[in-house]
Amino acid sequence: MGTVIKVEAGRWVPSLARYSAAKGLTGLEHTAGIPGTVGGLVCMNGGSQRKGIGSSLNRLTAVMKDGSVKVFQADECEFAYRSSVFQDNGAIITEIELELGKAQVSKVRQEMLSILKSRRLKFPLKLPNCGSVFASNPSMYDEVGAPGFAIEQAGLKGHRIGGAQISPLHANFFVNTGSATAKDMIELIAYAHNVVRNKTGFSMHSEVRYVTPELGTISVTDYLKDLDRDSING
């Protein structure tokens, strides 16, 4: 059995994780339980346990802004922690090729079940949310800790703006309590960012992407740079 698989970008990530486990393929355990499509996962170099899908990718096919089709090799994707070239180049990923390892089916499944159990205990999965809001910064992590810890230490767990709330369960997850607007969520992200920056000196970068008619998809952190900070800080 080969270890190279091709996957359409529209495939549901948990479905891909289950498929790889059933085939005795290892390398995607960290994607278990991540809601979203494969294309989105690659665009964000998503994953868990500080891992990213980019480490398993050989190449991918994308449609460029001018309509041309281009094949990107892994080293052309500019993968870094929770980032890739596709966040800025406007390309639409259509198919990816992954190279995985071989392992016993039981071991892969056991690892995935362990990860899923941990996610259920740590994350607020019963409410709509942005997923992990701020990316981990190695320098900040060594000195202060993870973003969620920094937000919690700043006393912001449970803080609300409109219908958006910093989860009481995990401070790096911002949830929709039922009536949150995009404005509520952006203002809450800005507030948490500024409080932590003032307390620690570190500026956290938001993983959340905001879609605007003028700018397309852009990091909330970058979007906020163009706004009047006084108006969003209240």
Q: What is the pLDDT, as a whole number, of residue 156? A: 97
How would DSSP label each residue in 146-180? -HHHHHHHTT-TT-EETTEEE-SS-TTEEEE-SS-
Indicate the residue type of 13: V
What is the tally of structural domains in the chain?
2
Going residue by residue through the chain, which has 234 residues, state the pLDDT in tens, using 9 for 90 and above.
479 999 999 999 999 999 999 999 999 999 988 888 999 999 999 988 889 999 999 999 999 999 999 999 999 999 998 889 998 898 999 999 999 999 999 999 999 999 888 888 888 778 888 888 998 888 999 999 999 999 999 999 999 999 999 999 999 999 999 999 999 999 999 999 999 999 999 999 898 888 777 766 777 877 777 665 444 444
Q: Which of 20, 29, 56, 82 is catalytic?
A: 82
Same domain, 149 and 88: no
How would DSSP label each residue in 84-118? -GGGTS--EEEEEEEE-EE--HHHHHHHHHHHHHH
Question: What CATH number is given to the structural domain containing 206?
Answer: 3.90.78.10
Same domain, 213 and 149: yes
Rg of the chain's alpha carbons, rounded to an integer? Answer: 19
**Does 132 qualify as catalytic in the annotation?**
yes
Q: What's the domain range around 185?
A: 124-233
Same domain, 169 and 117: no
Same domain, 76 and 99: yes
Alpha-carbon distance 81 to 212, whole Å?
24
Environment class of residue 62 by beta-carbon count within 10 Å: exposed (0-12), middle (13-18) or buried (19+)?
buried
Q: Which of 78, 102, 121 is the last residue of a domain?
A: 121
The angle, 0 to 180 degrees and rounded to 10, between the axes of the packed helices 13-22 and 105-122 is 150
Same domain, 133 and 175: yes
**Does 82 qualify as catalytic in the annotation?**
yes
Same domain, 115 and 135: no
Q: Which of 83, 84, 136, 207 is catalytic?
A: 207
Helix (H) or strand (E) run with residue 129 in it: strand 129-132
Same domain, 62 and 133: no
State the Cα torsion 167-124-189-14 to the nearest 10°: 170
pTM over 0.85: no
Q: Which of 20, 56, 84, 132 is catalytic?
A: 132
Same domain, 144 and 212: yes
